[in-house]
Amino acid sequence: MSINGRNNNTDFYNECTARDTEGGETTPLIGNGSVQTRATGASFTSSVFNLMNAIMGSGILGLAYAMSNTGIVGFCILLILVSSLAAYSIHFLLRLCDQTGINSYEDLGGKAMKKTGKIMVGIAIVIQNIGAMSSYLFILKSELPAAIHSFLRPEDTGNAWYEDGRLLLILVAVCVILPLSMLPKIGFLGYTSSLAFLFMLYFAVVIVVKKWSIPCPLPYNVTTLSDTFKVSNFSDSECTPKLFIISVKSAYAIPTMAFSFLCHTTVLPIYCELERPTKARMQNISNISIGLSFLLYFISALFGYLTFYSHVDSELLLGYDAYLPQDIMVMTVRLAILISVLLTVPLIHFPARKSVILLLYGGRDFSWLIHIVSTLTILSVVLMLAIFVPDLSNVFGVVGSTTSSCLLFVFPGVFYLKISNQPLRSLDSVGAILLVVFGLIMGVISLSVIVVTWVESP
């Protein structure tokens, strides 16, 4: 058994080496009594930052709203459940990598369900990541001019070029996103990912600090910019946190949390480039990344909820805009979140490009021409969607609810059941079945929530 494991692990090294040695330094690697070469890997720390950056995005803005619809204890239970299942599904992916020597999500689909599985996974990754990138750029297009405007004096505003969201988006895409997306290895993004993590940490700190800047009951009017409020007629009972809340809106919480932990399309590329790649080492990276993300998610959601209670906005920062419109910390944290979202786009782009190349060109050696053409094509599509499509939520809401649940829960469970030779009554097989069932339920709930939202919207 140990001999098979060693051979499969060597196959994994060879697979990574074949695809990632272009332009990189090499270090000796011992396998089957011979010395092999492999590109110098990414460090443990940079891999943690990259995976955290893939996990944490604009979803952090909606978790306080989820807590207001589930209660503090209910939110904790659901967040622990979803984060644990996300880590468990990563465990299946990494275990299958070690068993088969395959280093890509798409090829695992091919191993489990032949060409159909490979195409299904590839299409799901491309759609999910293009949707995520488009939504992030859409946020930048609408919020970046407002963020810049908040730092300027009223007399300095007008028809300035920096108030055109589309022009700003093109400049940012060309000057920042494109150069970072052109990098051939995902490990190079560790520095930008660490910066994005610091911005998310700053966001959590500001949410905690501003808990004591807005009184409760909530004010309904701001008379000056010095925090002089008129007190509303809300009752003091609205300032009491709820432990459990069950309502129709509670159904929104599970999809929001699940999407907030979706990082599975980047796990295997990070694993492949990791220095001294082993399942245990990558599992530790995943656990640390999910654990730190869980901590920041919970702190920001808790203090955001304890600031606004039942009046939490679906996008948390909008509440602070209403009650602290010229607060310097709120303005800087909005800009920090936008920069963090901006730095996440190249990281999401990497697995999308990898899927496109794998589906169109197979497992051929690295080619700069294919790399550049694929990068420009994907970014052009994403940029056109963000600029010209007025509302992305309807299209990618439906597609995202299905592809996200498949990538996060359904595919890892199904692939493990198809590839692994474990009996169905074994612990991992039962866990894989439960993971698939949970993913299907989450997909149905997500789709139902979107349909109900469409029906209820004016």
Both 123 and 247 in one domain: the answer is yes
How far is it, in rounded angstroms, from Cα 404 to Cα 436? 13
For residues 172 and 304, state if they share a domain. yes
Q: What are phi and psi of 424, to 5 degrees?
A: -65, -25
pLDDT digits (tens, 9 = 90+) for 99-154: 888 888 888 998 998 889 899 999 999 988 888 888 888 888 888 887 887 777 66
Q: Are residues 59 and 32 in the same domain?
A: no
Cα–Cα distance for residue pair 241/187, rounded to 1 Å:
42
Do 145 and 16 lie in a common domain?
no
Last residue of a domain, one of 335, 363, 388: 388
Phi and psi at 29, nearest 5°, equal -140, 125
**Quick one: which H or E segment has residue 374?**
helix 368-388
Q: What is the domain range of residue 26?
A: 1-40
Same domain, 172 and 253: yes
Regarding whether 162 and 29 lie in a shared domain, the answer is no
94 lies in the same domain as 8: no
What is the distance between the alpha carbons of residues 140 and 135, in angstroms, rounded to a whole number? Answer: 9
Judge if 160 and 215 occupy the same domain: yes
**What mean pLDDT is reported for the chain?**
80
- Residue pair 295/197 in contact by the 8 Å Cβ criterion: no
Q: Are residues 134 and 31 in the same domain?
A: no
Are 384 and 247 members of one domain?
A: yes
Q: Label the pairing between strands 219-222 and 229-231.
A: antiparallel
Query: Tokens at residue 353, please?
Result: 């490009």
Residue with tokens 């694929």: 374
pLDDT score at 19: 46
Instruction: Decide if 430 is inside a domain.
Output: no
The model's pLDDT over 205-237, given as tens digits with 9 standing for 90+, comes to 999 998 888 887 776 654 434 444 444 445 555
Q: Which of 388, 406, 427 is the last residue of a domain?
A: 388
The contacts found for 238-241 with CB under 8 angstroms, 24 or more apart, are 238/309, 238/310, 238/311, 239/309, 240/309, 241/71, 241/72, 241/305, 241/306, 241/309
Hey, which of 19-33, 177-191, 254-268, 294-308 has the most confident mean pLDDT?
294-308
Taking residue 199's Cβ as centre, other Cβ atoms within 10 Å add up to 20
- Beta-carbon contacts of 39 under 8 Å, excluding residues fewer than 6 positions away, are 16, 17, 20, 21, 22, 24, 25, 26, 185, 273
In a domain, 452, yes or no: no
Q: Which of 400, 411, 361 is nearest to 258 (CA)?
A: 400
Whether this model's pTM surpasses 0.75: yes
Judgement on whether residues 226 and 346 belong to the same structural domain of the protein:
yes
410 part of a folded domain: no
The answer to which of 198-207, 225-234, 236-245, 367-376 has the lowest mean pLDDT is: 225-234
Residues 338 and 206 both lie in one domain: yes
Domain annotation covers residue 414 = no
pLDDT confidence band for 66 (50 / 70 / 90): confident
